[in-house]
Structure 1
Amino acid sequence: MLFPAVLGLLLACAVSLSSSAVILENGMPVLWGHTAGQLSDLPIQNDILTPDPLHYLHRMSLYRLMIAATDPFLGSMGTNATDSPIWGLPLQLGWMLTSGRLADPTGTTTCGLQTGDTMCISSESWWSCVNYFVSALPFLSAAQQGFMGEGLQVQMQVPAGVQDYCTTYADCLTHYPDAMAKWDAFFQGLKAATDSPVAENEKKDYLLGLYWVAQMASTYASAACNARQSHFSSVELSFSKNWLNSAEYVSAAHFQSNLANSAMFLTPLPGRILKEGDQAPNIADLSTDENHSLSIFSWMSNANTLLGGRLVSMWKSAMCSVQTREKGREMLGQLLLDPTFATTTFLSIVTGMTTGC
């Protein structure tokens, strides 16, 4: 399953091309073909599944198994095999890998480095910690709700001393009850929606709503990771906060984070860790698209701060119906992907939309 030479090539491409982030390999998430296609491909001890979430292929396997188990319940998302909203998460993990954000930021080990174990995910990385909350937690919930087979027990392998990584369903429920409750609601909602008589577009919007509520609950719970932010530059720290802020808009619009849509939004993300002195839109070794996305993320966060948090609240208020959420998704696409789309236009449209709710 392990092909570090392939990863080395991907990392080299990310650096040498100085273009967009490397998130796809043969049209799929990075190293997807080397992940577990069935539960028995992961470690099992005493009839308990024991994945290692600090191994890239194991963590990516959690997504592959979740997607396969939930696809039969997500027909409302579309006819393509990659229409599940869960696809956004493995693409995000792949971007974190190839951009170096899963490696040890402290420099005390070679975890995640080309000179060390390329499949190692550092528990010291803020990015890997935040991702743990949207990989391990939903997998444990899915297993608890029977999506992996009745009675499956799961125990995540986590090194001693890593206190904020819960390892079992019961453990996560105790420490992060809101996040686990929201993931349980999503997986239960999938089963309930199967026999629902409502129109497919309404069912789709409803399930996307449950999904994003769960993902955001995990994101809020990942505040437990905040101490790890000190390992990064102030510029990377600012970007990480802006990245979290952008999720508020995406989630409220019920973005369908399938493979195609997610690739479109993730490709312009910075293909390397930002360092002191980087100032978008004038970072020389980043592409125009990367500079633009960094500038827009910064503008969205700064505008919200200047307005005392009202931009996010206005946006959430405007996303009050299936129709306005559809319009919201179109606007986000224009804002993030079209450099000619003025931020002032975005503000005026959002203000107008809130009056219609």
Structure 2
Amino acid sequence: MTFHLPWACVIIGCIFVSLGRASNTPDVYPPLWKESPGQFSDYKVEDGKYIINIWHYLERLGTYKILLNKTAKYFEKFAPENEQNILWGLPVHHGWQYRTGRLADPTQRTNCGHESGDYLCISVDSWWADVNYYLSAMPFLAAVDSGIMGISSDNITFLPPSKDQTNFCYNVSSCYSSFPETMKKWNKFYQQVKSYSSSFEDLLKYLWAAHMSSLKVAHKKFGNRLKFYSKQEADFERSWALFVDYLAPPLFPTTLIRTAEFQKGLPTRMLVDGDKAPLVSDFTSFQNTVLLGLNFLHKVHKYTGKLSFIVWKTLMKFKVARKLFLEILDLILHCFN
């Protein structure tokens, strides 16, 4: 352990060095952010209910936009312009998924999500899209249930996908029935958001608890989707999922700028056979470093039998350790920016 844990920390540090150096793009918002719905009245209404096609990129993105708008006033005490709203991490990452083609049908049986077809379609066969559903539908519906959105819990319905409908929930009641613990954690987060006595770290603690609860359920359900991808992309998906596990204990702040900077080191397209970091020719050296680091972290985690992660979680229980870790990341990002 005296060898593997330090190496895991080094790799994580290298990842953020790369992310910091690659963060010069001024546009931090998700693709088509301005075009997405920004209020409930932008959606269809049937029988007094707002009908949202969450399998359409703009409509799913719009749920995030409304969520950001409705929670903005609670984050004013941390910074102006809603920049410190820690819910930004959800739509910004979803935008990266769309930009890189990861929401498209990986089986190639349909034109869903592909540039040559229905490019705004979100495929139910996409691992990324299905996992993201649990980080879009449940946070949104739990916010409605918490009262933070200002509408009744009965007024929202999501349209089902073309198949595998039982893997998802479509309104507040069905989500509570299918995933009660996860919905409770998201609701608890919003109750903390509404409490003006909550500190920034308090909110991060509740957000990450809810976030990881959503991912835990999603990863169990959609592991079978990995067969639709190249070995390189499937390995990246596994490594990425693990890396998010490591981000949760230090309570990484998922604010707008930090999340946007974070993603500059991620692959700009789907990985295919022949892609091998650090030698992917159309990736920057920083993106290659990130990919290599994620692969290495996954190997360390597997080799130590999760012991490195247990030690990491234990270490991050101490506030001074979390603070030091985030200060080091800030210093790295500042130096390379």
Instruction: Tell me which interval the TM-score lies in, with the shorter structure as reference length.
Output: 0.7 to 0.9
The alignment yields a C-alpha RMSD, in angstroms, of 2.4
- Distance verdict in 2 for CA 1:333–1:110, change over 3 Å: farther
Residue 318 (1) aligns with residue 315 (2): yes
Shift of 1:235: 1.1
* Alignment correspondent of 2:6: none
Residue 78 (1) aligns with residue 75 (2): no
Residue 245 (1) aligns with residue 242 (2): yes
- Distance verdict in 2 for CA 1:256–1:22, change over 3 Å: closer
What stretches of structure 1 move > 6 A for 4+ residues in a row?
20-25, 333-339
- Distance verdict in 2 for CA 1:21–1:98, change over 3 Å: farther
1:87/1:259 contact within 8 Å kept: yes
Correspondence for 1:154 among 143, 153, 156: 156
SS of structure 2 residue aligned to 1:275: coil
Correspondence for 1:273 among 238, 253, 270: 270
2:246/2:309 contact within 8 Å kept: yes
* Alignment correspondent of 1:220: 216
* Alignment correspondent of 1:43: 44
CA distance in 2, matches of 1:219, 1:337: 31
Letter in 1 for 2:161: P
Percent identity for Structure 1 against Structure 2: 31
2:76/2:82 contact within 8 Å kept: no
Residue 177 (1) aligns with residue 177 (2): no
Shift of 1:25: 7.9
Shift of 1:283: 1.1
1:158/1:167 contact within 8 Å kept: yes
Shift of 1:46: 0.9
Count of residue pairs brought into register by the alignment: 313
Shift of 1:222: 0.5
- Distance verdict in 2 for CA 1:311–1:80, change over 3 Å: farther
TM-score normalised by length of structure 2? 0.87
Letter in 2 for 1:215: H
* Alignment correspondent of 2:32: 31
SS of structure 2 residue aligned to 1:214: helix
- Larger deviation, residues 271-280 vs 157-166: 157-166
* Alignment correspondent of 2:108: 107
1:22/1:271 contact within 8 Å kept: no
Correspondence for 1:208 among 204, 219, 223: 204
CA distance in 1, matches of 2:251, 2:48: 38
- Distance verdict in 2 for CA 1:336–1:78, change over 3 Å: closer
TM-score normalised by length of structure 1? 0.82
Please list every run of 5 or more consecutive structure 1 residues that lacks an aligned counterpart in the other structure.
Answer: 1-19, 340-357
Letter in 1 for 2:175: C
2:85/2:255 contact within 8 Å kept: yes
CA distance in 2, matches of 1:228, 1:312: 25
Q: Which is bigger in relative contact order (C-alpha 8 A, separation at least 6)? A: 2
